[in-house]
Amino acid sequence: MIASHSENLFYAFRIAVLSLGAFTIGFAIYVGIIYARGALHSEVYGRGRHVMFIAISYCLLAAELVFEIGQRAVNSYPITWRLPVAAVAFGLGSYSLLKIVKTKSKMHR
């Protein structure tokens, strides 16, 4: 009975991390698009193509991690070190993207 509860807890943790990863990927795409359009920029970097490329690379890495964690969940494989690392990475990534948007939206154009 205890194994069932821990399995349910790990499964719920996987779902939470996958959801956070999907949010982070979508948010990175959004930030990359608004920087590419020039809605947020700084005088130093112009239109911010570097932010768009950072967002693309982050999306590729995050998508691969989300895919791997999802595959392990579907096939009922045990969790590995990737799941807690992904939880921290997605949380910090979402926070940093939010800070970029908030900081740049306050700057004068």
- Domain hosting 27: range is 16-105
Query: Crossing angle of helices 82-105/49-74, nearest 10°?
Result: 150
Spatial distance between the Cα atoms of 59 and 93, rounded to a whole number of angstroms: 10
pLDDT for position 1: 47
- Report how many domains make up the chain: 1
**Do the domain assignments include residue 2?**
no
Q: State the pTM of this model.
A: 0.75
Average pLDDT over residues 26-31: 87
94 has a pLDDT exceeding 50: yes
- 25 versus 53: which is more confidently predicted? 25
